[in-house]
Structure 1
Amino acid sequence: MFVVLSDSHGERAVIEDIKKHYEKTASAIFHCGDSELPSDDEIWEGITVVAGNCDYDPGYQEFQLQEVEGKKVLLAHGHLFYVGLGLERYSYFAEEKNADIALFGHIHQPVAQKINDILYLNPGSVAQPRGKYDIKMYAVIEIKGNHYTISYRNLKHEKIADLQFEL
């Protein structure tokens, strides 16, 4: 099981709370960018994080590729792939990197879908939600072989009823 959050826009306490809630149980915690925190902030110990379009610290990487629970997980903010217009460009990049899971931020809205056997997931925003779901949220992914259980959670760590998926 691992945790994905994004677009915290300076809300350090939210990151800290999620980290404390999962640091003993999650195999990984990912932040998909736009934290607006320094790249050397101690909060990042134990969290894989990338640069977003609002992160100007040169210490962040634009993308990361990491193996978690036997899956290659690609992490990017998404702005460089114009994910607001669709996932086509990001899907080319994910396929090039042989990713099993491609995480991204930027659009502040939940997305969970498979394209060519790659899971694409946006965890929404823990600070500034947009779109249909006006809920500050993050996602939890559980891996069962080639199937994924995705659970979107509010900041009280409660499951959001309409946002539970088996893919």
Structure 2
Amino acid sequence: MNRVLIVSDSHGLTEELMEIKLRHACTYMFHCGDSELEFDAKELEGFTSVGGNCDFDSRYPEEFVTDIGDLSFFIAHGHLHNVKMNSMTISYRAAELDAKIICFGHTHIAGAEKINDQLFINPGSIRLPRGRTEKTYAVMQWDNVNDIEVLFYTLDGKLVEDMTYHTDLADK
């Protein structure tokens, strides 16, 4: 089973990032920006990280694309794509790069949603959540593109069951 840990908007938290990494031990880990840490901070070791509007280390890329199995991921913070307004700009950018999974932050609002043939995942914030009281991050897992599951966890590792999201990204 493929598993990806997705975190965003940790805004200076360090011990918490280390705990989350150890708790899930995923092969792939994305930080969608606003860590407020140096690019090479030990807490970010193992994460593919992008820069957010509160990250001032110029070594962070603005966006990142990678393939895991049959899926292509686009990782961005979202502030440069106006995600607080709508998902259109980030959707177009991901499509330009042939990415089907879009991982982003910036809004601090956790959620997963399939729109057309793209899956949008915002893990929320482990420091300053909006829309819900839980401080959250996400784990996406799948064996094949016909059965993708996105699980949301609280900062202390409890599953937020009512946020679990299942989808199928297989071409129809």
TM-score tier after normalising by the smaller chain length:
over 0.9
1:5 to 4, 7, 31: 7
Aligned counterparts of 1:27 and 1:113: Cα–Cα separation in 2: 23
1:19 to 18, 21, 40: 21
Letter paired with 2:123: P
Q: Which is further off, 140-149 or 82-91?
A: 140-149
Hey, which of these two has a bigger chunk of strand by percent? 1
RMSD (Å), alpha carbons: 1.1
Give how far 1:63 is off.
Answer: 0.5
Correspondence for 2:58? 58
Aligned counterparts of 1:148 and 1:27: Cα–Cα separation in 2: 17
Give how far 1:162 is off.
Answer: 1.5
The share of aligned pairs that are identical, in percent, is 38
Correspondence for 2:120? 120
Q: Secondary structure at the match of 2:84?
A: helix
Aligned counterparts of 1:164 and 1:134: Cα–Cα separation in 2: 16
Which aligned runs of 4 or more in structure 1 are off by greater than 3 angstroms? Answer: none
Letter paired with 1:5: V
Q: Is the 8 A contact 2:15 2:43 kept in 1?
A: no
Aligned counterparts of 2:14 and 2:92: Cα–Cα separation in 1: 33
Q: Is the 8 A contact 1:27 1:69 kept in 2?
A: no
Aligned counterparts of 1:46 and 1:39: Cα–Cα separation in 2: 11
Letter paired with 1:137: T
Correspondence for 2:170? none
Give how far 1:164 is off.
Answer: 0.8
Aligned counterparts of 1:130 and 1:22: Cα–Cα separation in 2: 24
Aligned counterparts of 2:59 and 2:162: Cα–Cα separation in 1: 37
Q: Is the 8 A contact 1:27 1:68 kept in 2?
A: no
Q: Secondary structure at the match of 1:135?
A: coil
Gaps of 5+ in 1: none
Q: Secondary structure at the match of 2:43?
A: helix
